Amino acid sequence: MSETELRVSKIKDGTVIDHITPGYALDVVKILGITGKEKGPITLAINVPSKRFKTKDIVKIEGRELNPQEVHKIALLAPHASINIIRDYKVVKKQEVKLPKVIENIIKCVNPACISNSNEPVKARFYVDCEDPLLLKCHYCGYIMEKKDVLQRF
């Protein structure tokens, strides 16, 4: 983006999720449970030019900082995203999202016959076989979930 143009304004306090895989901003907003009925401003930018990759999405949330589980959820959809914590207009913390090797209790298996979907008291558990494109292997049934399966479960 040229220096003469500012597409979305800076925020005062909150979180900027930057370098989101283009096309996934709306999913990121959804997994964060944002409905649009919140008080503070929320800014989305979709398919905007990026220096690092060709294009990216951005989500800016005024007045909210994310917890680790939310960061892991974002990593499932946008493995190159960075989370910037903003306080008084300054970036006070920058974190690249990172998926743990084992994912527990974040999403459920799509295989309806999987024991983790029965009434048994087992925690959903997946192994990250690949981050991009996403491949998650269920610990119990071996089912391989892709990003589209994950999106369906959120």
- The residues binding ligand CTP (CB under 6 A) are 10-11, 16, 18, 58, 60, 82, 84, 86, 89, 91, 94
* Minimal distance, residue 46 CB to Zn ion, in Å: 33
Q: What is the β-pairing status of strands 102-104 and 90-96?
A: unpaired
**Partner in contact with 136, chosen from Zn ion, ligand CTP, none, beta carbon below 5 to 8 Å by kind:** none
Closest CA to 102 of 137, 139, 128: 128
Binder of residue 11, out of ligand CTP, Zn ion, none (CB less than 5 to 8 A by kind): ligand CTP
Binding of Zn ion at residue 143 (CB under 5 A)? yes
Shortest CB 90 distance to ligand CTP, Å: 7
Instruction: For residue 104, list its beta bridge partners.
Output: 125
**Within a 10 A sphere around the Cβ of 135, how many other Cβ atoms?**
15
**Residues 101/135, Cβ–Cβ less than 8 Å:** no
Of 53 and 154, the one with the shorter C-beta distance to ligand CTP is 53
Which of 20, 25, 134, 138 touches Zn ion by CB under 5 A?
138
Residues from 107 through 136 that contact Zn ion (CB under 5 A): 109, 111, 114
Say which entry of Zn ion, ligand CTP, none residue 143 contacts (CB below 5 to 8 A, set by partner kind).
Answer: Zn ion
Q: Could you write out the DSSP letters of every residue in 39-82?
A: SS-EEEEEEEE-SSSSEEEEEEEET----HHHHHHHHHH-TT-E
